[in-house]
Structure 1
């Protein structure tokens, strides 16, 4: 019997409207790092926005990676659990190994315009079934065990199936 193994992606967008403390720290520290790193791509101080830097200094694309260093400690605090995504019992259950940091918008003079995204990629899951608007999944294991502990959850905004693979 063929099984589907999926990887989910959750895109967490963070800006000044986020209310929880973890999001605020990530926002503030990534902004401070952006201001510091942007100096290397804006030595004459001609540009204030990230978009202007990207347009006029193609190497500024590296800022995504360079600024991500400021948030790696916060990601470690998550202990490999993707934030915000809950199963139907209200528990966080999705684990991640990889992430991609992205600067959506920023202005070195205005933290209010600083907006980032962290794309979390789940560890592989077995997709057992779709029940109404919810997915029934379990952690992927190489062995073919008879019993699997499952989670039932609703796909929500900013969550998508990133990859799918059939396993025999």
Structure 2
């Protein structure tokens, strides 16, 4: 069983966040543990105007990735979203799956289960290739994949 160690937090920070910004004590303690205690940081955290969100097109090759996803949707290719089994991996998989489904994509997802290692696996690539039956396809990794060079090379060799 994995043991979690919570970062200590100053009670004064939690009380101040609760009183000043009306967060409940749980929210205030989470923010304090993340170091979000100053007025500017709290206001940035609470901001709902999408103009202040991180610009995703600052990532290198983001335009290429968007173009490839749009191509896969337009050409009715099968798409596999492969995520991680942690909270942000599951969440990002679910968000992307819902978005692509709404766009009419032929999409499915896969997450590691049980003792499966984190990251894209050869087995997942081979299973998806068999499912695609030789047709052109796309695998999108979320919250993983950056170090899965061998698996990505293998997928490319299979036409994915």
The question of a shared fold, defined as TM-score above 0.5 by the shorter chain, is answered with no
- Structure 1 or 2: more helix by fraction: 2
Q: Which has the higher strand share?
A: 1
Bigger radius of gyration among the two: 2
TM (norm. structure 2) is: 0.23
